């Protein structure tokens, strides 16, 4: 086939797609360009299906260093393991494309998106998703839909579709929506905190107005979020219509493949339904996850035994598969027809919650958060700028630094599995990133500060990421971090068939597995800070989403009330570092340092502290073992900084002034003049005759009469009256 070029200009994006140009032996490929960014997306499929009941799809988003005209840093000068941004982008592509495949598709498929040229202003996640979708649509796989990604920002109160990266830097909202036609398939959202500067009336520092900066969370309420999602949905509908039409000429003939879901044993399914319905219902209603699993195993064994007595031997794996399908229908029918959940809760009822704070003596801040059978132990560690995590992005020439980190760990024992505990996978990185986006807007990281939050999931039966958010917010407060507001999180579910649906609050693993939506939402008492939604259906109506948001708000506020009560009972950790971060007028930093560092050395020795200064912003960090001494050092520094600024006199040449010998050196003496500034009295200007040792004539602290010989700016040269006359 000949090379085909498709140009599309929609939703503030100018995109170019070139088909049949590269990687022609792949199942599908596209050369994608937006601005100076060039990406290549390829699709490859293995026509031998796997036996397991899942879609074996591998997504890789790969950034090449040469795309930004850089050579990889470090000892190995080639790309190695993917960075967090690459991993998270791969995960976004996977979650967006997976719903497009037909039910029962079990063929290994690999999609690779490679960044060949970067552009500082191009949103690489939107570009990567569009490239991957185009390559998949024109491939010989049985995918007949295109998808579109839309990022919505909010700058100065105005919603912007697909803002540039520079605009996103000034945005209070980052909403990422993926969909096809009218259907929304995936949502990720976070609010972005801002620093607001206010002038304090009447105050002055060194004849400058006092300015104070405060931190704003910029939460979104439910109606504002729905408005932003509606804007994104309209943009998605318009773009996917163009994609499907313009890409169709490059589409290959789909492979003839069989789908495994067609092989469900309908006879065995009917047998279970007619003979074991009550047993399955009772097993589903067992409260504990482990006990439910055992009960279902007993039902499976009973089915095999009953059939064996009838002279028919059944394969255990086949029975397990059919029983799981029937169990799913029971779970859904109980919810939709009888309003009964597996653990007996109401549709909007939250599991029991237990909270303990600062239970780890040697940790800066900690919290054990337990909700039902989900439990997270969250620890907070405070550090300085040297502890920040450095990372590189293909869109930036310089390294970036992460001063707030959330690390989520999910060991096998949390779900009763005997497995090796190794490096975090994509799921762990994704859940940690969600918790970070939820918590970050409420935190004001002080000058020179770094905060690390680590969540150890000890038990899991639904929404361990939301337990991480709740436990993390309390652990931050337990570590005496200035958290403006507590943040809680809740996982919502949806079961929908035809015109019937039920929205579930605080879902457990069974409801996540057998439901149609996984919807996680976090926020403060005043609004939403982050959300993540994956739809297993073709899409979701905004009216249902609005109802889910309202129900989630009730659950979120209930959890927050329990967290607030626990917060009031927090006892400070004995391991907390004694650190004070504060700001002074930058012009006063020189006074804190003193001549040749004498003042700062004196403070360090007197109070037994360490001091770090930032000349640009006037930032001061004082740390020490004794809290009272740290506080005293802070007060001493503020006293120096609040002293009136010295102004140098304009001296009259030849006039005599009274000074004080400040320091004696080999080449002369430094004399403190009446204005407080030091002037040089050179050894050659002390007497007419040569002087070899000044210390035989003067001591530091002596008063001395001097005559000004010369003044050039701040430089003043002196002589004694004896020499001058």
What is the number of alpha carbons within 13 Å of residue 219 lying toward its C-beta? Answer: 20
Q: What is the pLDDT of residue 142?
A: 93
- Clarify whether residues 77 and 135 are in a common domain: yes
pLDDT in tens, 237-263: 999 999 999 999 999 998 988 887 656
CATH number, domain at 306?
A: 1.10.10.400
Cα–Cα dist 518/533, whole Å: 6
* Positions of E strands within 128-182: 148-155, 158-161, 173-180
Domains contained in the chain, number:
5
Q: Of the ranges 63-77, 192-206, 209-223, which is most confident?
A: 63-77
- Clarify whether residues 177 and 44 are in a common domain: yes
- Could you tell me if residue 315 is inside a domain? yes
Quick one: pLDDT band at residue 417, thresholds 50, 70, 90?
confident
Q: What is the mean pLDDT of residues 103-119?
A: 94
Q: What is the pLDDT of residue 212?
A: 39
Q: What is the pLDDT of residue 267?
A: 85
Quick one: pLDDT band at residue 200, thresholds 50, 70, 90?
very low
CATH number, domain at 702?
A: 2.40.50.140
- Clarify whether residues 239 and 276 are in a common domain: no
Residue 525 structure tokens: 């008492």
Nearest to 440 by CA among 522, 549, 526: 522
Does residue 714 carry a pLDDT above 80?
no
Quick one: pLDDT band at residue 415, thresholds 50, 70, 90?
confident
Residue 191 structure tokens: 């609010």
Does residue 22 carry a pLDDT above 60?
yes
Nearest to 455 by CA among 530, 396, 375: 375
- DSSP percent split of the chain into helix, strand, coil, nearest 5: 35, 30, 35
- Clarify whether residues 493 and 530 are in a common domain: yes
Q: What is the mean pLDDT of residues 262-270?
A: 77
Q: What is the pLDDT of residue 711?
A: 87
- Clarify whether residues 328 and 428 are in a common domain: no
- Could you tell me if residue 588 is inside a domain? yes
Sheet holding 109-117, edge to edge: 4-10, 13-19, 28-34, 37-45, 109-117, 57-63
Residue 630 structure tokens: 């740290």
- Clarify whether residues 151 and 280 are in a common domain: no
* Alpha-carbon 409 to chain mean position: 15
What is the number of alpha carbons within 13 Å of residue 256 lying toward its C-beta? Answer: 0
- Clarify whether residues 23 and 170 are in a common domain: yes
Q: For residue 698, what are the contacts with CB-CB under 8 A and spacing of at least 6?
A: 661, 664, 669, 704
Q: What is the pLDDT of residue 77?
A: 85
- Clarify whether residues 371 and 331 are in a common domain: no
Does residue 321 carry a pLDDT above 60?
yes
- Clarify whether residues 507 and 440 are in a common domain: yes
Quick one: pLDDT band at residue 446, thresholds 50, 70, 90?
low
Cα–Cα dist 342/294, whole Å: 15
- Taking CA atoms, 154 is separated from 12, 172, 228, 664, 701, in Å, by 15, 6, 9, 63, 63
Q: For residue 383, what are the contacts with CB-CB under 8 A and spacing of at least 6?
A: 449, 450, 451, 452
Helix (H, G, I), strand (E, B) or coil at 546: helix
Burial of 308 (0-12, 13-18, 19+ CB in 10 A): exposed
CATH number, domain at 473?
A: 3.30.230.70
Phi-psi region of 181 (alpha: psi -120 to 50; beta: other; left: phi over 0): left
Quick one: pLDDT band at residue 111, thresholds 50, 70, 90?
very high
pLDDT in tens, 528-583: 999 999 887 766 778 888 999 999 999 999 999 999 999 999 998 888 888 888 88
- Clarify whether residues 437 and 403 are in a common domain: yes
- Could you tell me if residue 717 is inside a domain? yes
Instruction: Give me the chain's average pLDDT, please.
Output: 88
Cα–Cα dist 660/448, whole Å: 39
The H or E element spanning position 95 is: helix 84-97
Q: What is the mean pLDDT of residues 25-33?
A: 96
- Could you tell me if residue 257 is inside a domain? no
Per mean pLDDT, which range of 152-156, 171-175, 250-254, 297-301 is the poorest? 297-301
Quick one: pLDDT band at residue 287, thresholds 50, 70, 90?
low
- Is residue 702 within 8 A of residue 660, CB to CB? The reply is yes
Residue 363's domain spans which residues?
A: 353-417+424-568
Q: What is the pLDDT of residue 448?
A: 67
- Could you tell me if residue 191 is inside a domain? yes
Q: What is the mean pLDDT of residues 495-503?
A: 89
**In the chain, % of residues over pLDDT 90:** 47
Residue 352 structure tokens: 């029991």
- Clarify whether residues 584 and 689 are in a common domain: no
pLDDT in tens, 628-685: 899 999 999 998 888 776 667 788 888 889 999 988 888 888 888 887 778 888 888 8
């Amino acid at each position: 086939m000949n090379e085909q070029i498709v140009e599309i200009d929609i939703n503030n994006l100018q995109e170019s797609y070139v088909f049949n140009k590269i990687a022609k032996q792949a199942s599908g490929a596209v050369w994608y360009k937006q601005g100076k960014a060039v990406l290549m997306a390829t699709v490859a499929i293995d026509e031998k299906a796997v036996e397991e009941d899942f879609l074996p799809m591998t997504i890789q988003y790969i950034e090449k260093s040469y795309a930004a005209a850089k050579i990889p840093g470090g000892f190995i000068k080639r790309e190695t393991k993917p960075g967090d941004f690459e991993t998270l982008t791969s995960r976004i592509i996977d979650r967006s494309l997976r719903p497009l495949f037909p039910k029962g598709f079990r063929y290994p498929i690999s999609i690779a998106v490679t960044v060949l040229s970067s552009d500082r202003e191009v949103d690489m996640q939107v570009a990567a998703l569009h490239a991957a979708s185009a390559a998949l649509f024109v491939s010989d796989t049985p995918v007949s839909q295109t998808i579109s990604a839309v990022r919505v920002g909010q700058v100065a109160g105005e919603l912007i579709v697909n803002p540039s990266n520079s605009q996103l830097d000034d945005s209070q909202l980052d909403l990422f929506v993926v969909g096809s036609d009218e259907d929304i398939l995936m949502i990720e959202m976070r609010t972005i905190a801002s620093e607001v500067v206010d002038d304090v009336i009447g105050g002055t520092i060194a004849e400058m107005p006092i300015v104070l900066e405060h931190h704003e969370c910029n939460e979104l309420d439910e109606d504002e979020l729905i408005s932003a999602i509606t804007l994104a949905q309209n943009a998605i509908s318009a773009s996917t219509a163009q994609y499907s039409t313009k890409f169709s000429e490059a589409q290959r003939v789909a492979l003839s493949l069989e789908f495994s879901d067609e092989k469900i044993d309908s006879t065995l399914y009917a047998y279970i339904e007619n003979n074991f319905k009550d047993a399955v219902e009772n097993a589903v209603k067992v409260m504990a996850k482990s006990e439910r699993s055992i009960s279902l195993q007993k039902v499976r064994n009973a089915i095999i035994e009953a059939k064996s007595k009838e002279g028919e031997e059944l394969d255990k794996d086949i029975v397990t598969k059919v029983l799981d399908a029937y169990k799913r229908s029971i779970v859904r029918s109980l919810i939709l027809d009888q309003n009964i959940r597996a653990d007996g809760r109401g549709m909007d009822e939250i599991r029991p919650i237990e909270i303990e704070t600062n239970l780890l003596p040697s940790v800066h801040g900690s919290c054990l958060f337990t909700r039902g059978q989900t439990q997270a132990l969250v620890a907070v560690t405070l550090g300085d700028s040297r502890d920040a995590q450095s990372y590189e992005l293909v869109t930036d020439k310089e390294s970036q630094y992460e001063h707030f980190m959330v690390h989520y760990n999910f060991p096998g024992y949390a779900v009763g599995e005997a497995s090796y505990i190794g490096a975090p996978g994509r799921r762990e990185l994704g859940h940690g990133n969600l918790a970070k986006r939820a918590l970050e807007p409420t935190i004001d990281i002080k000058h020179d500060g770094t905060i690390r939050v680590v969540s150890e999931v000890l038990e899991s039966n639904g929404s361990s990421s939301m337990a991480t958010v709740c436990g993390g917010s309390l652990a931050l407060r337990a570590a005496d971090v200035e958290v403006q507001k507590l943040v809680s999180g809740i996982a919502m579910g949806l079961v929908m068939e035809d015109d019937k649906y039920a929205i579930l609050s605080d879902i457990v693993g069974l409801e996540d597995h057998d439901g149609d939506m996984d919807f996680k939402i976090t926020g403060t008492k005043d609004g939403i800070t982050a959300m993540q939604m994956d739809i297993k259906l073709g899409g979701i109506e905004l009216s249902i989403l609005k109802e889910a948001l309202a129900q989630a708000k009730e659950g979120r506020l209930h959890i927050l009330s329990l967290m607030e009560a626990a917060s009031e009972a927090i006892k400070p950790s004995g391991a907390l570092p004694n650190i004070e971060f504060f700001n002074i007028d930058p012009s006063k930093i020189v006074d804190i340092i003193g001549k040749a560092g004498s003042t700062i050395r004196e403070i360090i020795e007197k109070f037994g502290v360490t001091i770090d200064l930032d000349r640009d912003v006037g930032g001061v960090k004082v740390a020490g073992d004794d809290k009272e001494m740290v506080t005293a050092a802070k007060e001493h520094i503020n006293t120096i900084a609040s002293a009136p600024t010295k102004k140098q006199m304009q001296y009259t040449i030849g006039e005599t002034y009274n000074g004080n010998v400040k320091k004696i050196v080999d080449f002369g003496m430094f004399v403190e003049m009446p204005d407080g500034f030091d002037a040089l009295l050179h050894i050659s200007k002390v007497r007419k005759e040569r002087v070899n040792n000044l210390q035989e004539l003067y001591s530091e602290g002596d008063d001395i009469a001097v005559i000004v010989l010369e003044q050039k700016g701040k430089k003043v040269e002196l002589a004694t009256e004896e020499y001058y006359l």
